[in-house]
Structure 1
Amino acid sequence: MRLRKENILIVDDDLHILELLQRHLHSWNYHTYRAVSVKEAVAILKDTHIDLLITDLKMPQIDGFELIKFVSEHYPDLPKLVVTGFPSVQDSLKAIKSGVVEYLTKPFTKGELQAAVAKALPKASKEPVKNTVPKSKHQGEIIGASEKIEEVLQIIDRVKDNKATIFINGESGTGKELVARAIHYEGKFSSAPFIPVNCGGIPENLLEAELFGYTKGAFTGADKDRKGAFQAAQGGTIFLDEIGNASLAVQARLLRVLQEKEVVRVGAQKPEKIDVRVIAATNNNLPEMIKKQTFREDLYYRLSVVEIPLPALRARMSDIPLLVDKFLFKYGVEYKDRFVRIDPEALEVLKRYSWPGNIRELENVIQRAVIMCDKMVTIKDLPDHLKYSLEMPEHKLVSLAQMEREYIKKVLRSTGNNKTKAAEILQITRKTLRNKLDES
């Protein structure tokens, strides 16, 4: 007797076959999910524990072989059973080499299907399949295997089940909101609301009303009482992105919220108690802002009970292949209706670049490359500024000073001529950078 119902995913563009398979599997007390395309199947795999995949091979757009390859790479322990109406020796050998454990030809009997499923699931009742990306640790949408990301994931794991105030610090494009979402959705409060607020994208005179709510008549246009983001996040998490852009007045009110665990709507007198986890983030240097008296020191210490420093992409270059694979799959399916690969030489170009725009810039580059490529992303599909290399012909030997100037120019090109960002990458001051440029 089985200890639990196994989850079986059936993939076939023939609705009659889907219904037949589902009816048989239900009669044997299996739980089924069904998909009419590889796109739909992948979406189910990402969100659902599956014990066995049953798939057809011949399907429009993305075929079953591509799905088998994807599953073999991303869910290596998941057994695969092929059901096909177009059998061939070549296809059967290809399927077996791809890790398929059973191969059925249509039409098949109910007994043949039952035997194939039972053979493919000898351990399913005892050992659930682990659906994990090999060699990559992840929380939510955060992907990486580097030491820097491992440190971030460890902190997330420690804080996800409590409501300590968290401060995420990192450059633009490093994935601060992804970290905030991982903390919320991977923890025990995931069923409660997650409310993101971009403090830099809301006009200063409206930010207080957005955060704390307002009463009818509090200002022109306030025709009824309205809850703010803090009330909407009750029991869950509010994510204050770009907190460094909040005015001193808003900062003062935030400090009181953190101290008293209550908010007062704009135009009201009576406070409202709240139970909310606060996660704040910025790409600004808050200690420098504190020195300039543009950010409150007491609020900074209230926000940074737990601080998560998020590394720039150039500090975790070993994660680039994993991120590239993620974005190739995402945009390959969206734009090409198939899985797009990348030429090793093009991947090497991506691994040499300094990525001043971090993961957001990498994603944009891959999105563009998928649109521009034919069957595979090659060097020609990458932006020109990525193709530039400092490598020179062996016969062209230059002085160290000239080599330095060439490298400075390369970094400037990679940052879109942003001298502040270039100085950070080169680990020199803007004044030193300006002097070196004047020398050239």
Structure 2
Amino acid sequence: MQLNKENILIVDDDLHILELIQRHLHRWNYHTYRAVSVKEAVNILRDSQVDLLITDLKMPQIDGFELIKFVSEHYPDLPKLIVTGFPSVQDSLKAIKSGVAEYLTKPFTRDELEEAVTKALSASRAKPKKPTQPVQRDAYGEIIGSSEEMNEVLEVIDRVKDNKATLYISGESGTGKELVARAVHYQGKFAAAPFVPVNCGGIPETLLEAELFGYKKGAFTGAEKDRKGAFQSAQGGTIFLDEIGNASLAVQARLLRVLQEKEVTPLGSHKPEKIDVRVIAATNNDLAEMIRKETFREDLYYRLSVVEIHIPSLRKRMTDLPLLVDKFLLKYGLEYKDRYLKIEPEALEVLKRYSWPGNIRELENVVQRAVIMCDKSIQVKDLPDHLKYAIDMPEDTLTSLAEMEHKYIKKVLRATGNNKTKAAEILQITRKTLREKLKD
């Protein structure tokens, strides 16, 4: 029997109620997801297409109203059905104000549940959808972004995910190169095969060859038994060579041979082993400059860069910043505060003014810290000082040092309400020096 197209998420900490509702919905040919906590429900909502939410209200840690609030803010067109064993007039009114489509009191009959589900879904189908902002595509794991720059990255992922062409990912530190490598692997037809990451910059040169190619017993002191290398472990799948620019010339020579011959020879062996592996390499180094300095092999570069993906820096895709902030607020709000946190518009503007030299990794750290420091929502006071007083200046603008200093002093004074003592403290100069600079 063909399933109905709707997917229904059921959230209740009572397993008996969960199973009862799920059993009925399956009988009516709906596909269901189930969660015993709000945290679990949020993860399902993020990763799946859901057409109706059925939730209890009284649950430990985070209650159902918090979930309803989150859904209303992030999925405004998703209909919501409450089932509760503790009905009250207050809760009913609160539910109606929150946009809940239907409200059922436990115990309820099968017919009452069917009627409520049908009404909620029917009302949702009939309701005109509000135009929404462009959102990222669904199928790229942890990658967040709907900017033109990120859409170009996703288009390349689409083209390469189902073949084993060698791929080179470039970009500044903190832009998410491993996320892109994982998306290429896990969104393609080889997703069931292994994905093996190797940090070429984090392994001593003397051990990197053994890590990559494996070794035979007795190959060197301490080699007490045969061991597979990363290439053999990735058989049929993908090996991700992160920070490839840090590999020595000797390792580069062996890698070149692996790419040419499609085989590896473990240390201590003379017998090559055939491999079937997609190679993805990444670095934040300037390989062109390294080639000029003869610290990176030009022939290896051309072997690695059959297809190249350049990940833009965060400052070049700032329209994605609110989406990234939402992601980290959700992650760390649940982890540290057991609830969902918002960011005040003024604080978001501060984040938008900053140039983010550390890219997404730096943004995540800032949001994580702000979640820990804040009370009910992220405010400007919860952000680090170096963000609050950052100078808002286009990236390519060139100006004199004196003018830069003048603008920065004015910015700090504005931020401190013209409090010269506080401004001098932030600038780490005396009040006398500040007065002299203001006269100038």
> Does TM-score exceed 0.5, indicating one fold?
yes
Shift in CA distance, 408/123, structure 1 to aligned 2, threshold 3 Å: closer
What's the counterpart of residue 347 of structure 1?
A: 348
Shift in CA distance, 207/123, structure 1 to aligned 2, threshold 3 Å: farther
1:59 pairs with 2:51: no
What's the counterpart of residue 319 of structure 1?
A: 320
What's the counterpart of residue 152 of structure 1?
A: 153
Q: Quick check: 2:354–2:390 contact (8 Å CA) kept in 1?
A: no
Superposition pairs for residues 404-415 of structure 1, below 5 Å?
404-405=404-405
Distance 1:73 1:159 in 2: 35
Distance 2:253 2:378 in 1: 51
Q: Secondary structure at the match of 1:143?
A: coil
What's the counterpart of residue 371 of structure 2?
A: 370
Q: Deviations over 1:250-295 (max 9, x none)?
A: 0000001111111111111111111111100000000000000000
What's the counterpart of residue 44 of structure 2?
A: 44
Distance 1:317 1:50 in 2: 29
Distance 2:362 2:409 in 1: 20
Distance 1:162 1:116 in 2: 47
1:109 pairs with 2:113: no
Q: Secondary structure at the match of 1:62?
A: coil
Shift in CA distance, 118/322, structure 1 to aligned 2, threshold 3 Å: same
1:303 pairs with 2:304: yes
Q: Secondary structure at the match of 2:269?
A: coil
| Aligned AA (1:163) | K
Shift in CA distance, 229/133, structure 1 to aligned 2, threshold 3 Å: farther
Distance 2:409 2:306 in 1: 41
Superposition pairs for residues 57-96 of structure 1, below 5 Å?
57-96=57-96
Shift in CA distance, 255/113, structure 1 to aligned 2, threshold 3 Å: same
Distance 1:254 1:234 in 2: 16
1:136 deviates by 3.1
1:185 pairs with 2:186: yes
Q: Quick check: 1:6–1:124 contact (8 Å CA) kept in 2?
A: no
Superposition pairs for residues 213-252 of structure 1, below 5 Å?
213-252=214-253
Q: Secondary structure at the match of 1:295?
A: coil
> How many residue pairs end up in the alignment?
399
Shift in CA distance, 239/76, structure 1 to aligned 2, threshold 3 Å: farther
What's the counterpart of residue 415 of structure 1?
A: none
Shift in CA distance, 105/320, structure 1 to aligned 2, threshold 3 Å: same
| Aligned AA (1:212) | F
What's the counterpart of residue 358 of structure 1?
A: 359
Shift in CA distance, 355/298, structure 1 to aligned 2, threshold 3 Å: same
1:13 pairs with 2:46: no
What's the counterpart of residue 120 of structure 1?
A: 120
Superposition pairs for residues 246-325 of structure 1, below 5 Å?
246-325=247-326
| Aligned AA (1:40) | E
| Aligned AA (2:265) | V
Shift in CA distance, 133/32, structure 1 to aligned 2, threshold 3 Å: farther
1:93 deviates by 4.5
Distance 1:245 1:257 in 2: 18
Q: Quick check: 1:7–1:49 contact (8 Å CA) kept in 2?
A: yes
What's the counterpart of residue 430 of structure 1?
A: none
Distance 1:123 1:222 in 2: 68
1:120 deviates by 3.2
1:145 deviates by 1.6
Distance 1:409 1:305 in 2: 49
Q: Quick check: 2:77–2:124 contact (8 Å CA) kept in 1?
A: no
Q: Quick check: 2:3–2:30 contact (8 Å CA) kept in 1?
A: no
Q: Quick check: 1:74–1:133 contact (8 Å CA) kept in 2?
A: no
Distance 2:74 2:273 in 1: 47
Shift in CA distance, 400/293, structure 1 to aligned 2, threshold 3 Å: closer
Q: Deviations over 1:319-374 (max 9, x none)?
A: 11110000000000011100011111111101101111100000000001101111
TM-score between the two structures when normalised by the length of structure 2 = 0.84
**Percent of aligned pairs sharing the same letter:** 79
Cα root mean square deviation, aligned: 2.8
Question: Where does the alignment leave 5 or more consecutive residues of structure 1 unmatched?
Answer: 126-131, 392-398, 411-439
Q: Secondary structure at the match of 1:82?
A: strand
1:386 deviates by 0.9
Shift in CA distance, 112/2, structure 1 to aligned 2, threshold 3 Å: farther
Distance 1:294 1:380 in 2: 46
Distance 2:363 2:61 in 1: 27
Q: Secondary structure at the match of 2:144?
A: strand
Distance 2:317 2:33 in 1: 38
Q: Quick check: 2:281–2:304 contact (8 Å CA) kept in 1?
A: yes
1:114 deviates by 1.7
| Aligned AA (1:85) | G
Distance 2:214 2:123 in 1: 54
| Aligned AA (1:146) | S
1:107 deviates by 2.7
1:41 deviates by 1.4
1:381 deviates by 0.9
Distance 2:55 2:372 in 1: 28
Q: Deviations over 1:13-36 (max 9, x none)?
A: 233433432343344454543322
Superposition pairs for residues 171-210 of structure 1, below 5 Å?
171-210=172-211
